[in-house]
Amino acid sequence: MLTRRLLIGSGLALAAAPALAQPGRRVVALGSDVAEALFAIGAGKLVVATDDTATFPAAAGKLPKLGYLRSLAPEPILAARPGLIIAADGAGPDAVLRQVEGAGVKIVRLPAGYAPADVANRIRLIGAAVGAAPAAERLARDVLARLAQPLPAGWAAPRALLILAQAPGRVLAAGQNSAGDSFIRLAGGRNIFTADGYKPLSAEAAIAGAPAIIIVPSHVVGIAGGLERLKADPVFAGTPAGRAGRFHVVDSQAALGFGPRLPDAVAAARKALAPLAAARAA
C-alpha cells in the first residue's frame, strides 16, 4: 500500500498503484478540479457529494453540497458516509479534515501548483486513488499536450490584468505567485500587477501598469451585476483596456481551478490576446 507521502508527492509509477476506491465505494470530492477530473476519467458514479465550488459537469453540480471549500464542517461530510475523500489544496480547515480522518475516513490530499505538470500530476493522483490510473494518464497527457501548444512566431506578450473580485472603486487583482498570474502567462500575456498573491489594486497602480486587456472571471461579472457595470469602474477608466473596452471573460473554475478544462480557457484567452500580441510585434 502506498503511503500518504507517496500519494501526495510524485505522480511517478501511479499506473501500478493499488486502487484505494473499490467498486461502489463512496467518494467525496473537495475542489472543482477534483470533481471535474473524476467525471472526466469515468469515475463520476463514485462521487456522492462535493463542496460548493464543484458545479461542472452538470452531474457534479446536482450532487449534495457540503459547504464552501475552505470553510467546511465535519458533520455534513460525515453525514455523506464517504469511504474516500479527495481534497484539493486549500480544502479545510485542516482541523476539520483531521477530525474526519480521525473518524476513519481515508483522505487523499492533493498538492498545490500552477504549472502544467502540476495539473497533470493531480489528475494522475486522482486516478490512482479511485483505481482509474489508465484513464487518468490519458487525460493528463492530453492536458499537457494542449497546454504545450507554442505561441505563434513573433508573439509579443500583451500587458494584462486579471481581477478576482470587484466592488465600485475597489478591485482585488492577481499578482505574482497566484493562479491568476499563471493563467496570464499560459495565455501568452504579461501580468502588469507585481504584488505577491491577490492584493487590492488602486486606480493609480492600474494606470501605471497600463494593461491592454483585463481578464475577468465569470463569478466577478455576476457579483458586479454584469460586464457593462464592471467596465464602468473608475479603477479601469484610465487604462488602455478600459478606454478600449477590452475585457475578456473566462469561466472562473476552468481558468483558475487548474483542472482538466484549463486548456480550453487558455486557448480562448490566447485568441483574445492574439490581436494585441500581433500589434505589439509589428
pLDDT at 153: 95
- Residue 199: helix, strand or coil by DSSP? strand
For residues 220-245, average pLDDT: 94
Determine the Cα–Cα distance for residues 273 and 282; give it in Å rounded to an integer.
Answer: 14
Determine the Cα–Cα distance for residues 63 and 249; give it in Å rounded to an integer.
Answer: 27
Q: Taking Cα atoms as reference points, which of 44, 52, 94, 53 lies closest to residue 74? A: 94
Summarize pLDDT for 160-187 with one digit per residue, the tens.
999 999 987 789 999 999 999 999 999 9
Residues in the chain: 282
Q: Taking Cα atoms as reference points, which of 192, 202, 180 lies closest to residue 255? A: 180
Question: Helices 116-129 & 133-147, crossing angle to 10 degrees?
Answer: 170
Please identify which residue in the block is written with the cell numbers 494522475.
124
- Asked if residue 119 has pLDDT above 80, the reply is yes
For residues 95-110, average pLDDT: 97
Determine the Cα–Cα distance for residues 40 and 53; give it in Å rounded to an integer.
Answer: 17
Alpha helical stretches, state H, the chain: 4-9, 32-40, 58-61, 74-79, 94-102, 116-129, 133-147, 179-186, 203-209, 218-224, 227-231, 234-237, 240-244, 252-256, 262-281
**Which domains occur in the chain, in start order?**
4-147 (3.40.50.1980), 159-281 (3.40.50.1980)
Tell me the residue type at 168. P
pTM: 0.89
- Residue 102: helix, strand or coil by DSSP? helix
Question: Helices 32-40 & 133-147, crossing angle to 10 degrees?
Answer: 110
Of all residues in the chain, the percent with pLDDT exceeding 70 is 91
For residues 98-105, average pLDDT: 97
pLDDT at 80: 97
**Confidence class for position 20, pLDDT limits 50, 70, 90:** very low
Summarize pLDDT for 238-278 with one digit per residue, the tens.
999 999 999 999 999 999 999 999 999 999 999 999 999 99
Of all residues in the chain, the percent with pLDDT exceeding 90 is 88
